[in-house]
Amino acid sequence: MSDPTPPRLTCAQVRELDRLAIEELGLPGVVLMENAGAGAARLALSGLEPARARRVEIVCGPGNNGGDGWVVARHLANADCAVHVASCVAIEDLRGDAAIHARVARGMGIEITFLSDGDALARSTERWARADLVVDALLGTGARGAPRGLLGAAIAAIEALPILGRPGPGVSGAGPSGSADRGRPWILALDVPSGLDADSGARAGACVRADDTATFAAEKIGFAAPGAAAWLGRVHVVDLGVPRALFARVRAGN
């Protein structure tokens, strides 16, 4: 019997996997994004205690990783979590699949803050420190180099938050324990902690230190690098519904 766990992939292989799924199979990118965000939301709900307020802060970047965050926002709001999204870009300036999911979240009435400047970031940082869950949806596998500007400042602010640093209930130990300090948010990164190079496993500057990482389709090759685990926390692979045959093609380079 073959191993059902997909092999680790490079960032280039991840892009090729997406291309094959979209162009050859006709699986729209907006559906892949939906599957990613819905899977991450299920992981989040497995670790959030129903009896608590379940205050969730989702920090979204300008690209597809941010789009995944908008999907998570919708699903957690539907599960009666108190959801707030801090976006590094105005919704009107988003493009592609991320713009679709952001507009849906806004149409639902989810509370949104545009991180337009340092003052807005400072106010949001105060909210993040009081949350039960902070979702890092700022940068994904396409990011290169040290994060700069307001985006880098947002990553540094999340990095400065104290992490739970211990296992709890849910899927493979995801989430805070029942006795967790309410002043410590659970930090969940989408696909890769923002600021971590998914190919090398190294950080070039500010980097989110996650309790858990919900990575999409497969673990990335850099996750095995020495020291990467300190930023990744526990890693959970979220299935995107991409056929296993495509993984083999990507690995073979055809």
- Domain containing residue 133: CATH number: 3.40.50.10260
Residue 164 in this model has a pLDDT that exceeds 70: no
Q: What is the pLDDT of residues 66-116, one digit of tens each?
A: 999 999 999 999 999 999 999 999 999 999 999 999 999 999 999 999 999
DSSP codes, 67-128: HHHHHHHHHHHHTT-EEEEEESS-GGG--HHHHHHHHHHHHTT-EEEE--SHHHHHHHHHHH
Say how many domains are in the chain: 1
The span from the first CA to the last CA of the chain, in angstroms, equals: 24
Q: What is the pLDDT of residues 29-68, one digit of tens each?
A: 999 999 999 999 999 999 987 766 789 999 999 999 999 9
Give dist(CA 49, CA 51) in Å, integer.
5
Domain annotation covers residue 111: yes
Query: What sign has the CA pseudo-torsion 214, 15, 88, 31?
Result: negative
Q: For the residues 8-18, what does the mean pLDDT come to?
A: 94
Domain annotation covers residue 4: no
**Average pLDDT in the chain:** 89
Domain annotation covers residue 6: no
Range of the domain at 70: 11-252
Residue 6 in this model has a pLDDT that exceeds 50: yes
pTM of the complete model? 0.91
Q: What is the pLDDT of residues 188-243, one digit of tens each?
A: 999 999 999 999 999 989 999 999 999 999 999 999 999 999 999 999 999 999 99
Domain annotation covers residue 119: yes
pLDDT band at 145 (very low <50, low <70, confident <90, very high): confident
Q: What is the pLDDT of residues 228-243, one digit of tens each?
A: 999 999 999 999 999 9
Domain annotation covers residue 5: no
Residue 169 in this model has a pLDDT that exceeds 80: no
Domain annotation covers residue 59: yes
Residue 183: burial class (beta carbons within 10 Å; 0-12, 13-18, 19+) = exposed
Residue 163 in this model has a pLDDT that exceeds 80: no
Closest by CA to 7, choosing from 205, 254, 240, 237, is 237
